[in-house]
Amino acid sequence: MSFKMHSGDLIPLIGFGTYMVDGFKQTKEVLDNALSVGYRLFDTAKMYGNETEIGRALKELLPKHKLTRRDIFITTKLLPSDHGKIAYAAIEESLSKLDCEYLDLYLIHWPGSAAKLRAESWRQMVKAKNDGLVRNIGVSNYTVRHLEEILNSPEGVLPAVNQIEWHPYYHPYEVLEFCKKHGILVQAYMPLGSGSKTLLNDPHVAKIAERIGKTRAQVILKWSVQQGVGVIPKAATKSHMEDNIKLDFTLSDEDMNTLCNLKKRTKYDWDPESLP
């Protein structure tokens, strides 16, 4: 399952999130398991503080798995304090830490800055794309209002991706509809909800999972993917990694509607709605 971006590149709809993956030993072990299971998209950010470890681990692991750089997809993100003209240098820094010639996808991690700084960050990212440092550029945590700024910008380059919090407890359909209209992939971070496992323990999720013989995580992730939303779940164990990538089933319309209309509404992470 993949999505064709404006550049013609294909981005897998199921990727692997590396938030809180820390230290070279753990990073190498986690990525080794992820590669063996079949993950090819790896999502990081300067904020996560693990770009160097990921770059080093992939250099060692790709030959082991008979893969090359072209076989994998690497995403990283702009640190919020790097908005503005220094965004280009931030991209170069991430490239150096990840030890690769190009990035498959580079995102503005957070729109929490003045509109002029956001616009300058986007200009620098377009320049980096034109210079071959980055194959695709996009955003994260952008509302429709923030996306419209880019659509109206003089660069004329649309984001390939808008990565947002998205799960059955929080799903801003106005953002999804806007992105689909403009050919922008919505990619879900925290697709299973928070570490508290409240969503995983929701009785409606549990009932569906038991009835169709799938894990609760598989049901939640499939709910997103079946709507054309990419997912980047984290998993600590290889067995969970295997479950999370096995989404070759279909949820019924009734089950989809049930998950779309859970009464609980909870946003666990950053909320960009109040930003200028």
Instruction: Give just the sign of the alpha carbon dihedral 260, 261, 262, 268.
Output: positive
pLDDT number for residue 1? 84
CATH classification at residue 254 = 3.20.20.100
Q: Which residue has the tokens 């609760």?
A: 216
**Average pLDDT, rounded, for the chain:** 96
pLDDT tens for residues 247-271? 999 999 999 999 999 988 999 998 9
pLDDT number for residue 196? 82
Percent of the chain residues past pLDDT 90, beyond the cut: 93
Rg, the chain, Cα only? 18
Catalytic residue among 48, 88, 106, 169: 48
pLDDT number for residue 54? 98
How far from 67 is each of 39, 70, 241, 251, CA to CA, in Å?
12, 8, 19, 33
Say yes or no to pLDDT of 276 above 90. Answer: no
pLDDT number for residue 83? 97
- Structural domain that includes position 175: 2-274
pLDDT tens for residues 94-122? 999 999 999 999 999 999 878 999 999 99
Output the six-digit token pair for 107: 């995102």
Domain count within the chain: 1
Say yes or no to pLDDT of 238 above 90. Answer: yes
Write the CB contacts of 50 (distance below 8 Å, at least 6 apart in sequence). Answer: 18, 21, 22, 27, 44
* Residues facing residue 103 across a β-bridge: 134
> Is 88 tagged catalytic?
no
Torsions phi, psi for 130 (to 5 deg): -65, -30
